[in-house]
Amino acid sequence: MQGYALIQKQELRPLPVQIQASTILAMNTLDLQRFIETESAENPALTVDETARCALCGFLRAHNVCPVCGSIRRKKEISAPYENEYSVLHTSPTTDDEFCDPFKTVAATADLKEYLKSQASVALSGLSVQIAEFLIELIDDDGYLRESLYEIAERFSAAVPEVEAVLSVIQTFDPPGIAARNLQECLLIQLRSLERSDSLARITERILTDYWEDFSNLRTKQIAAKLQISTSVVRKVQEFVRTNLNPYPASAFHQPFRRLEARNTAAVVPDVDITLTSDGLVVQTIDWFDQLIGVDKTYENMYRLIKEQKVNLEEEERRHIKEYVDRACSILEFVQLRKRTLGIVAKKVVEHQKDYVLRGPINLKPLRHKEIAQELNLHESTVSRALANKYCRLPSGELISFDVFFDSALPIKEMISRVISISPRPLSDNEIARQLAEQGVVIARRTVAKYRNQLRVPPYRLRVA
């Protein structure tokens, strides 16, 4: 028979404040700013330091360089002389932030390769333009040309020096460093494009040219000993390269009339910065919102007087003040909690993947969120939220998602990429699988095909053609 009965049971349900804390933890830097701006518009008790807002893109920043659009609060800077003859005086104009032009939302965007081809049509003529356009099409997403010039020369029935001459012209195009064949060449092209003749630029070019292997492996003491200079000078060079040169030149592409361009897609902003110092890897969260938001002083004082029962207000006014101040305080607390949690989780991840950060993808170790959670005595979902949709900047300047640290297939993809790049001829998926097996990595041909597609390498038949 059907009937009704009352049953008692206990059930744990998250409180609204716990839900909000989890939601803020899962936000990346851009999402958090949007949330804070929306909340400050609705909550008069929550204040935002508007003087910290970038005049170009509107992003809240606590430092001179905006992490979204790269605009700078320009101030005159004078660096201290070096300990020896390599001294440099660096100054920059004392201008304010770039003006935010309202017309930037109406212009069309431009493609990097089309932009390079337009420069080639002006700088070259005849067959050289055809060769240049073909070379430009081969430039990868990072801005490098990794194809063999010998094969390109054969395709156009030209001599290799002719192709090299065309490539040299392309390497003078904007953005600086484009079409380099390796990182060393990329950095040298950019350095020379700066047209600096001071001692810092000269010693940097010498180190990049003659001591590249030592420099790329961060052998500071060995370089200092060979050049008979102090290690502080070498560190100055490292910092100069890190802050002025870009290992991924395509990412530095600024479209023509960039100030007038449409901004249809959100920028990727690093949430964590990983730097290499003499003491090792340093992990810092790029989160300054706790410094830029606060509780309005008037509301804070009224809230205190209400708590101390020193003010006579209507019940509606009391409720209004208490509600808004409590909301503002909660947001401040959760923003600080997000920063602390992201900091400790990111440090633990980098601790596990130190070899990858220093030596590249081939050294990535298998890692799961569960392992990080157990070591930090956190719930696995907390670790997952802390890293969700967040990015970190490596010492090399590369920007990667935290998901990469947990991609167990990355070392194999790197091996496939190397096998393809060093081979003098195109390899089929079966041949790639056979070469990997010789190196101790046994995977199926279809797995090779899957990873090759993820690396955006065309199939064998297209590479042969």
DSSP string across 236-279: HHHHHHHHH--S-GGGG---TTGGGB---SPPP--SEEEEEETT
Tell me, yes or no, whether 281 lies in a domain.
yes
Dump the DSSP string for 297-325.
HHHHHHHHHHHTT-S---HHHHHHHHHHH
Can you tell me the distance from the alpha carbon of 255 to that of 113, in angstroms, rounded to the nearest whole number? 11
Predicted confidence at residue 383, as pLDDT, reads 93
Structure tokens at 98: 């770039």
With contact defined as beta carbons under 8 Å apart, do 139 and 145 qualify?
yes
Claim to verify: residue 309 and residue 367 sit in the same structural domain: yes
Q: Which residue has the tokens 């067959």?
A: 127
Q: 373, 402, 431 — which closes off a domain? A: 402
With contact defined as beta carbons under 8 Å apart, do 257 and 28 qualify?
no
Q: What is the pLDDT of residues 314-351, one digit of tens each?
A: 788 888 888 888 888 998 999 999 999 999 999 999 99
Residues 6 or more apart in contact with residue 124 via CB below 8 angstroms = 132, 166, 169
Claim to verify: residue 397 and residue 303 sit in the same structural domain: yes
Q: Which residue has the higher pLDDT, 418 or 68?
A: 418
Claim to verify: residue 391 and residue 455 sit in the same structural domain: no
Strand partners, 48: 293
Q: Which residue has the higher pLDDT, 257 or 58?
A: 58
Q: What is the mean pLDDT of the chain?
A: 80
Strands 280-285 and 272-277, bridge-based pairing: antiparallel
Tell me, yes or no, whether 201 lies in a domain.
no
Q: 402, 429, 444 — which closes off a domain? A: 402
Sheet containing 272-277: give its strands across: 280-285, 272-277, 391-393, 399-401
Q: Does residue 152 have a pLDDT over 80?
A: yes
Claim to verify: residue 348 and residue 292 sit in the same structural domain: yes
Q: Give the three-state DSSP class for 401.
A: strand
Q: Give the three-state DSSP class for 338.
A: helix
Q: What is the pLDDT of residues 41-77, one digit of tens each?
A: 888 888 888 777 776 667 777 666 666 565 665 443 3
- Structural domain range at position 419: 410-464
Claim to verify: residue 354 and residue 455 sit in the same structural domain: no
Which CATH number covers residue 432? 1.10.10
Claim to verify: residue 431 and residue 324 sit in the same structural domain: no
Tell me, yes or no, whether 137 lies in a domain.
no
Tell me, yes or no, whether 449 lies in a domain.
yes
Q: 374, 402, 430 — which closes off a domain? A: 402
Q: Which residue has the tokens 């993820």?
A: 454
H/E element, 216: helix 212-216
Claim to verify: residue 316 and residue 430 sit in the same structural domain: no
Tell me, yes or no, whether 75 lies in a domain.
no
Can you tell me the distance from the alpha carbon of 395 to that of 373, in angstroms, rounded to the nearest whole number? 25
Tell me, yes or no, whether 81 lies in a domain.
no
Claim to verify: residue 397 and residue 289 sit in the same structural domain: yes
Question: Residues 184-212: what's their mean pLDDT?
Answer: 90
With contact defined as beta carbons under 8 Å apart, do 442 and 436 qualify?
yes
- Centre a 10 Å sphere on the Cβ of residue 452 and count the other Cβ atoms it contains: 20
Claim to verify: residue 312 and residue 366 sit in the same structural domain: yes
Phi then psi for residue 63, to 5 deg, are: -125, 175
Question: Residues 345-358: what's their mean pLDDT?
Answer: 92
Q: Look at the chain and report how many structural domains it folds into.
A: 2
Residues 6 or more apart in contact with residue 272 via CB below 8 angstroms = 283, 284, 285, 286, 342, 343, 346, 390, 391, 392, 393, 402
Predicted confidence at residue 62, as pLDDT, reads 67
Q: What is the pLDDT of residues 12-36, one digit of tens each?
A: 444 466 788 888 888 888 888 888 8
Claim to verify: residue 394 and residue 425 sit in the same structural domain: no
Q: Which residue has the higher pLDDT, 304 or 8?
A: 304
Predicted confidence at residue 312, as pLDDT, reads 76
Structure tokens at 142: 């990072």
Q: Which residue has the higher pLDDT, 53 or 176?
A: 176
Tell me, yes or no, whether 395 lies in a domain.
yes
- Centre a 10 Å sphere on the Cβ of residue 189 and count the other Cβ atoms it contains: 19
Nearest Cα neighbor of 349 from 391, 321, 292 is: 391
Predicted confidence at residue 109, as pLDDT, reads 47
Q: Which residue has the higher pLDDT, 63 or 408?
A: 408
Can you tell me the distance from the alpha carbon of 350 to that of 190, in angstroms, rounded to the nearest whole number? 30
With contact defined as beta carbons under 8 Å apart, do 79 and 90 qualify?
yes
Give the model's confidence band at 207: pLDDT under 50 very low, under 70 low, under 90 confident, else very high: very high
Can you tell me the distance from the alpha carbon of 454 to that of 457, in angstroms, rounded to the nearest whole number? 8
Question: Residues 408-422: what's their mean pLDDT?
Answer: 84
- Centre a 10 Å sphere on the Cβ of residue 284 and count the other Cβ atoms it contains: 13
Query: How far, rounded to the nearest angstrom, does the alpha carbon of residue 78 sit from its chain's CA centroid?
Result: 28
Tell me, yes or no, whether 300 lies in a domain.
yes
∠ Cα 279 280 285 (to 5°): 105
Claim to verify: residue 320 and residue 370 sit in the same structural domain: yes
Claim to verify: residue 305 and residue 380 sit in the same structural domain: yes
Q: Residue 106: what residue type? A: V
Give the global pTM: 0.55
Question: Residues 258-275: what's their mean pLDDT?
Answer: 62
Strands 391-393 and 272-277, bridge-based pairing: parallel
